[in-house]
């Protein structure tokens, strides 16, 4: 076991201090140390996308990122998409409207990925949405509804 590190993470606009082993991933830091359990642990090896969060606005996999690596960066999780008490983010609203999930486990990752996908300008057609959302697996197979939700959210946000 290695010496614990004291790091400061900026999560959803709040500076949080934590003492962790350097091997702790961002996903474990969020879930186990900061009690932010919205980001899900699906495969824990970078294949499913359930742990997708934003680092400085870019979507990344929290399970492959060491928490220590993103010290000082701006981290956004599904809990921080909208300010406390605010209405749903347009992507969240579109997922509800289109019933874009079944079990819901992949949904926070899908939503974080979709927000970035639209912001990147990679949601101009259904084919493009499918390609640029391909890093988020849904084992319930809600894909057609997810594409519909992303399409509607893109229109709402443009």
Partner 1 sequence: MNAYIRPTNLAEATKLRAKAGSKILCGGTDFYPALGTAQPQGTIIDLTRIAGLDGISVGPQEIRIGACTSWTKLIASPLPPAFDALKAAGREVGSIQIQNRATIGGNLCNASPAADGVPPLLALEAEVELASAEAMRRLALSDFILGNRRTALKSDEILTAIIVPQQRARGRASSTFAKLGARHYLVISIAMVAVNLVRGDDGSVADAKIAVGACSAVAQRLRALEADLLGKPVAAELGRSAEARHLADLSPIDDVRATGTYRRDAALLLVRRVIGECAKGASA
* Residues at the contact surface with partner 1, assessed by CB under 8 A: 2-3, 5, 21-23, 25, 45-47, 49, 52, 58-61, 63-66, 68-69, 113, 116-117, 120, 122, 131-132, 134-137
To partner 1, the closest distance from the beta carbon of 131 in angstroms equals 7
To partner 1, the closest distance from the beta carbon of 122 in angstroms equals 8
* Residue number, 82 or 134, with CB nearest to partner 1: 134
* Residue number, 8 or 97, with CB nearest to partner 1: 8
Phi, psi of 105 (to 5 degrees): -65, -35
Rounded Cα distance, 26 and 65, in Å: 6
| CB-based burial label for 70 (10 Å; 0-12, 13-18, 19+) | buried
To partner 1, the closest distance from the beta carbon of 56 in angstroms equals 10
To partner 1, the closest distance from the beta carbon of 84 in angstroms equals 26
| CB-based burial label for 73 (10 Å; 0-12, 13-18, 19+) | middle
| Contacts with 9 (C-beta within 8 Å, 6 or more apart), sequence order | 15, 16, 18, 29, 34, 67, 70, 71, 75
* Residue number, 86 or 127, with CB nearest to partner 1: 127
* Residue number, 4 or 99, with CB nearest to partner 1: 4
Rounded Cα distance, 57 and 3, in Å: 31
């Amino acid at each position: 076991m290695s010496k614990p590190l004291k790091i400061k993470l900026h999560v959803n606009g709040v500076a949080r201090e934590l003492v962790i082993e350097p091997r702790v991933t961002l996903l474990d830091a969020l879930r186990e140390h900061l009690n932010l359990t919205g980001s899900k642990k699906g495969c824990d090896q970078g294949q499913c996308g359930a742990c997708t969060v934003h680092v400085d606005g870019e979507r990344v996999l929290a399970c492959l990122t060491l928490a220590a690596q993103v010290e000082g960066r701006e981290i956004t999780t599904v809990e921080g998409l909208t300010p406390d008490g605010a209405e749903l983010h347009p992507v969240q609203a579109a997922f509800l409207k289109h019933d874009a999930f079944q079990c819901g486990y992949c949904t926070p990752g899908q939503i974080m990925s979709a927000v970035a996908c639209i912001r990147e300008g990679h949601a101009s057609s259904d084919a493009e949405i499918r390609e640029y959302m391909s890093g988020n697996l849904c084992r319930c197979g809600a894909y057609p509804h997810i594409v519909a939700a992303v399409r509607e959210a893109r229109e709402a946000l443009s």
